[in-house]
Structure 1
C-alpha cells in the first residue's frame, strides 16, 4: 500500500484546500466526497475529479480507509464517531469537538478500535512555526520563561455571510481562533499544566451588517473577550487574549516567546509562513531569521497527509487527536476558571509534536 484512500465529508468552502492539497502529498489520495446536500457533494466531486455520494455510501465504501471531516463544529464529534464505527481513521477540522465529553468519546472509541484520530489546525507544520521551533530547540533565546499570544478583532458580523454560529455555544473567539494559537504554543513549549482566566460577553446582542442577512440580530451565548494564563508543564508561564470586541485597530504581536537570552517573535499561527524575528540579549534591534523549513503557502491538509503517512509507516502523527483534545480542554478551562474564580488543573496531556526534519520538499512530511 503506497497511499491511503481518503473520503471527505462536508463540502463547504474549506474543502477546496483539502481537495487541492490532497494532490500535493504522496501519502494520501482523495477518492470521494459526501455531504448532507448530495447535489453539492456531486458538484464538488465533478470539480475535483472524484466520486460524489451520500455520507452513508462513503462510510460503507471498503476502499476508503480514512475520513476527513469538514462538517460544522457541532457535528464534528458525531461524524467522527460514525466514521470510527465504520472502521475508518478520521481527521477533523478544528475543534476536535464542542464539549470535552464528546472529545473523550472520540478518542476512546478510536483507541478501542485501533484507529487514528487527527485534527486541525496543522498550520504549526508550516515553515514559520517550524523555524521558530528549531530556534527554540537550538537555544537561540536560552531557556524559555514565558510567552504571549493575541488574537483581537471586531467580530465577524460585518463580513461573514452567516456569522451566527460564532456567537453561539461552541463559538466565540477562543473556540474559533484559540486552536491555532494554543496548538502553536504547545508545538513550541509543550503541554499545559493548568490555566486560569477571565471572560465576558461585552455586547449581548450583535447586528449583522453583511449580506445576505443584513440587519438581523444575534443573541450572544458565549464569551467574546477571553484573557487567559497558562502554566506549561515545562516551566514557562503564558498569556493569551482572544477577542471579538476590539472595535478599533491593534498593534499587538501574534505570538512572542521570552527566554533567558532573548525574545522570539513568532508569525501568525493562522498561516504557514513567516516572518520570524529574534531580539537577543545585548542586541539593539530585531533580526529577521531566514526560514529553515518550507511549506510557507497554504497547505491546509498537511496534518491529514502526515496522519496518512503515520498509518503507512507506523510512526506517530503530529496533528494528533490527543493534541487537539488537550487544546479543547484548555479552552474550556479558561471559561471554567472565569466562572469559578479559580485555576483549572488540566486532566489531559499530550506529546509536543515532533519537529519536521530539515530539507523536506513541500510535498514531504518524513517517515
Structure 2
C-alpha cells in the first residue's frame, strides 16, 4: 500500500471517537490534523492522539501534509465542506449522507472528477464480515437466483433516549434518511443497483416528548414522515421492500432478509460491521449459521478510508461516492413517490462494489482471498 494516507478530520463531535479507535489500529492511515468550529474540541482530540495538530478549518484545508479530508460535520455541511476540500486538491471521505440533496451531491462528484481526486462515503459497515459473508453466500449460489429482500428498521423514536432529538424530526431527518443509507447501501451491495422505486409514508404524530436529559418533558414538532415503506426494483429483477419506522415498537424480523429460488438468508444489522449470517436452504428443517467467510475482520468506522487508500488507480472505492449518490437518490425518490403516488425511475446507476475477501487490515494479514485492494493505490 506504500506510505500511509495522511488524513485530516473536520468535525470533532461524538462520532469521531469511533474513527480514532480504528485509526489507531490501521497502518494505512496517518492522522495528522483535526479541526472544528469549536477549537477547544479540536484541541482535546489533538491532545489525546500523538502527532495530531489542532487547526482551524481553513488551516487544515491548506495544510500540505493533509491528503484526504474526513468530513464529520453535520449533514447540512457535508456538501459544502466536501467542495472546499476538493477545491483544495484533497481527496474526501464523509459521514453519510454524501450531501443534503442529490443535486448537491452531484456537484461534489463532478468537482472531484474535474480535480482528479477520490470521493468516499459512509457507511463502510458494508465492508465488514456481516454483509460481506452474506454477499459471498449469494455469489456462491447458496440461495439460488435472488428473488427478493426485506429491510426492516423499527424504533418507537429517538426522543425516548436522545437529549436533543429535534433534527431527527426536521427536513433531512426521519427514519429513511437517518438509517436508510445503511440498509440501501447493503441492498445494493447484495443485489446490485436500483432502477425504480415506489413509496408510501405516514406522519402519525404532530409532536414528540423528549424522554431524558435536561429537556425531559419538552414537546418538539414533527415535520417529517415518521413511517416510510418502499419497494425497490433492482436491475437484476429482484425486489426489495423497505420498512423504516420511528412509530412502530419492535420487530422480530431479521434486519435484512434475502430470498432466492433455493434458500433464504437472514442478514445482520447493516449498522454494524459483523453479526451472524443464517441460511435456510430449500429442503432443510432449520436455519444454519454460516461461517465468517468474507469482509474486513474486526472492522470499525474508518475502514472505508483504508479501503479507499488501497483502491487501484482509476477504480471506484467500495464505499465510494457513486454508491453513496445512488443510495441518496433511491431514498429521495422513495419519499417523492410517497407524496406523488407514482413510480419513479432512478436516473443513476452504480457498479455492484467488488467483494471484500476475508482479511484482517489491522494486522496487515490476509486470511484468505488475497489482498484487500488493487495492484496499486490511486493515491500514489
Which stretch shows the higher mean deviation, 90-99 or 286-295?
Answer: 286-295
Which stretch shows the higher mean deviation, 36-45 or 302-311?
Answer: 302-311
CA distance in 2, matches of 1:361, 1:306: 9
Unaligned residue ranges in structure 1 (runs of 5+): none
Unaligned residue ranges in structure 2 (runs of 5+): 365-371, 375-380
Say if 2:19 is the partner of 1:18. Answer: yes
* Counterpart in the other structure of 2:356: 356
* Counterpart in the other structure of 1:366: 373
CA distance in 2, matches of 1:360, 1:352: 22
CA distance in 2, matches of 1:13, 1:360: 26
CA distance in 1, matches of 2:359, 2:306: 18
CA distance in 1, matches of 2:38, 2:190: 40
User: How far is 1:314 from its partner?
Assistant: 5.2
Alignment of 1:238-317 (within 5 A): 238-246=240-248, 248-293=249-294, 295-297=296-298, 299-310=300-311, 315-317=315-317
User: How far is 1:88 from its partner?
Assistant: 0.6
1:116-144 deviation digits (Å, cap 9, x = unpaired): 11100000111111111111000001000
Q: SS at 1:212's partner residue? A: coil
CA distance in 2, matches of 1:305, 1:360: 12
CA distance in 1, matches of 2:336, 2:258: 26
Q: SS at 2:216's partner residue? A: coil
Q: 2:226 aligns with which of 211, 224, 227?
A: 224
Alignment of 1:201-216 (within 5 A): 201-216=203-218
Say if 2:79 is the partner of 1:63. Answer: no
Q: 1:126 aligns with which of 122, 125, 128?
A: 128
C-alpha contact 1:357 1:366 (8 A) present in aligned 2: no
1:279-316 deviation digits (Å, cap 9, x = unpaired): 011011111111113545451111111112227x5543
* Counterpart in the other structure of 2:378: none
* Counterpart in the other structure of 2:333: 333
C-alpha contact 1:164 1:218 (8 A) present in aligned 2: yes
Distance 1:271 1:3, change over 3 A: same
C-alpha contact 2:68 2:92 (8 A) present in aligned 1: yes
User: How far is 1:44 from its partner?
Assistant: 1.1
1:304-341 deviation digits (Å, cap 9, x = unpaired): 11112227x55431001010000000110111001111
Alignment of 1:160-199 (within 5 A): 160-199=162-201
Normalising by structure 2, report the TM-score. Answer: 0.93
Q: SS at 2:180's partner residue? A: helix
Q: Aligned pair count?
A: 365
User: How far is 1:25 from its partner?
Assistant: 2.1
Cα RMSD, aligned residues only: 1.4
Which stretch shows the higher mean deviation, 54-63 or 16-25?
Answer: 16-25
